[in-house]
C-alpha cells in the first residue's frame, strides 16, 4: 500500500483488519485512504484533512488509533499508519483496549497528553505484548514518525512468519 501504490490508509483499526484462512492480517475499510499528491518519481506527500469535531463519528477516522501528528500538526504519512498498527497490536494483546482513551470533545488536549505519555513510554507498559515484538511495538508507538519501522521492516520480524 505505502510503496507500491503510494497511499496512506488513514484508519488502521481492529475493525479494519480481517484474518484470512492462513491467519494473515488483511487491511480493509479504505474510506479514509489518501493518495500521494506528488508525481510518482518524487517522495510521496500525503494531503491530510484537519480534524473537524463537528462531523459525525462515522465521517472521521477512529481517534484512538490515529497518530499524534494527524491531530496535532495536520500531517499524515506512511509512518502514521505504522503508529496505528502499533496501537492495533497493543489492543490485540490487551483484550481489545486501546493504549489511550480519547476525549473526542477535547481531542487536542487528549492528544497533547498522549504525546507526553508516549515520550515516557516504558517497556513496563507493554508487558502483555509478546517479548519477541515488544521492542518493535514500542518503536511503532514512537512520537517521532521517522523512528517508526516501515511496513517492509515489520514483515521481516520472525513473529509474523
Domain edges within the chain: 7-160
pTM confidence score: 0.89
pLDDT in tens, 54-94: 899 889 999 999 999 998 888 889 999 999 999 999 999 99
C-alpha cell at 35: 493518495
Q: Residue 23: exposed, middle, or buried by beta-carbon count in 10 A (0-12, 13-18, 19+)? A: exposed
CB atoms near residue 68 (< 10 Å): 21
The domain 7-160 is classified under which CATH number: 1.10.150.110, 3.40.640.10, 3.40.50.300, 1.10.510.10? 1.10.510.10
Amino acid at each position: 500500500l505505502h510503496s507500491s501504490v503510494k497511499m496512506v490508509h488513514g484508519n488502521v483499526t481492529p475493525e479494519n483488519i480481517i484474518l484470512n484462512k492462513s491467519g494473515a492480517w488483511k487491511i480493509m475499510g479504505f474510506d479514509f485512504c489518501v493518495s500521494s499528491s506528488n508525481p510518482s518519481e518524487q517522495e510521496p506527500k500525503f494531503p491530510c484533512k484537519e480534524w473537524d469535531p463537528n462531523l459525525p463519528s462515522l465521517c472521521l477516522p477512529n481517534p484512538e488509533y490515529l497518530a499524534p501528528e494527524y491531530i496535532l500538526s495536520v500531517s499524515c504519512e506512511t509512518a502514521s499508519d505504522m503508529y496505528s498498527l502499533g496501537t492495533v497490536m497493543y489492543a490485540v494483546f490487551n483484550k481489545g483496549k486501546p493504549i489511550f482513551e480519547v476525549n473526542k470533545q477535547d481531542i487536542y488536549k487528549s492528544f497533547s497528553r498522549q504525546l507526553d505519555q508516549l515520550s515516557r513510554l516504558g517497556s513496563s507498559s507493554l508487558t502483555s505484548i509478546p517479548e519477541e515484538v515488544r521492542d518493535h511495538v514500542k518503536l511503532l508507538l514512537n512520537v517521532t514518525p521517522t523512528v517508526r519501522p516501515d511496513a517492509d521492516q515489520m514483515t521481516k520480524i520472525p513473529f509474523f512468519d
